[in-house]
Amino acid sequence: LLFVDEIHRFNRAQQDGFLPYVEDGTVTLVGATTENPSFELNAALLSRAQVLILERLGRGALEQLLDRAETEMERPLPLTPPAKDALIASADGDGRFLLNQAETLFSVNLPEPLYPAGLSNFLQRRVAVYDKDREGHYNLISALHKSIRGSDPQAALYYLARMLTAGEEPLFLLRRLTRAAVEDIGLADPQALVQCIAAKDTYDFLGSPEGELAIAQACVYLATAPKSNAVYKAQKAAWKSARETGSLMPPASIRNAPTKLMRDIGYGKGYAYDHDAEDAFSGSDYWPDEMSAQTFYTPTERGFEKRLSERLAYWDALRAEKNG
């Protein structure tokens, strides 16, 4: 039996070294890791292993650990019942941390049991588990973004707080909020993007912790704003079309004509200046001659996009009327 702790610290070549001995049964390999094995272990090694996930300990399991510790020490912890509850809550599912705190309490002679406030002063607070380049980081930022998309400001604030209090870089969070503004809100509320840029400027001006209030305000604004991914989908469709038809020339009437030669060969000829047309709308065809008109952007009926939908319908009707 070969037990390897923190097996993710072995590089790919070193992990490959286990394979022949695992396959021929020379060793029964047991590896432990705090990382996601899907990302950190070779596919070949992972395919020959059974993955067991050890979840964080629940309240009942943590209480059982303290009961065993008190039995081992043959005396109760010097805590009032509310303080014992606070100790268990502070462990955040980490049994090792809880036992370390219990060991500290057993090592001193206290004149009377501690209440929650005294316990807080006596023991260090557990720092939340958070690695800024590991799975927990991506899980929390995903939860923040999806809470905003799902219009849940309470959950969004919670995940924002989780990341900020754990030491996440505020500018990273501001970049993700700005992305959410253009991806999930878009023109349903154009002010969402303005709020994010203002929050970034405010944070740059105030710094932490005062500037974090601006980040929280932007987060709540996004979560409570009307939602639309119409521009996001339009961008993807337009990019796809551009890759497929990227060499087609625009109509001659709207090509740039800075020289006499260009004008002589027809560049700019027949261009209709929209401001000279009725309603400042000429109804011209701006698409390449070899390409039919496409519809990339279809606004929703939510928020400001409802007005945009009405405006586009009005222009479509005018265009049809002018072009017969």
Q: Is residue 141 predicted with pLDDT exceeding 50?
A: yes
Other C-beta atoms closer than 10 Å to the C-beta of 289 total 10
Closest CA to 125 of 134, 133, 116: 116
Helices and strands in the chain, H and E counts: 16, 2
Q: Per-residue confidence at 135, pLDDT binned at 50, 70, 90?
A: low
Residues facing 29 on adjacent strands: 2
Pairwise CA distance, residues 127 & 91, whole Å: 9
In CATH, the number for domain 135-224 is: 1.20.272.10
Q: Per-residue confidence at 15, pLDDT binned at 50, 70, 90?
A: confident
- The pLDDT tens digits of the residues spanning 261-307 come to 888 889 899 999 999 998 899 999 999 999 999 999 999 999 999 99
Burial class (CB in 10 A: 0-12, 13-18, 19+), 29: middle
303: left (phi over 0), alpha (psi -120 to 50) or beta: left
**Encoding tokens for residue 211?**
């500037």
Domain chopping of the chain, boundaries = 2-47, 59-122, 135-224, 251-322
Q: Is the dihedral of CA 65, 128, 136, 41 positive or negative?
A: negative
Q: Compute CA distances 292 → 7, 256, 287, whole Å.
A: 57, 22, 7
Q: Is residue 120 predicted with pLDDT exceeding 90?
A: no
User: What's the length of the chain?
Assistant: 324
Other C-beta atoms closer than 10 Å to the C-beta of 101 total 22
CA dihedral 105, 109, 112, 118 (to 10 degrees): -40
Which of these ranges, 125-134, 187-196, 225-234, 251-260, has the smallest mean pLDDT? 125-134
- The pLDDT tens digits of the residues spanning 191-225 come to 999 999 999 999 999 998 899 999 999 999 999 99
Question: Would you say the pTM of this structure is higher than 0.85?
Answer: no
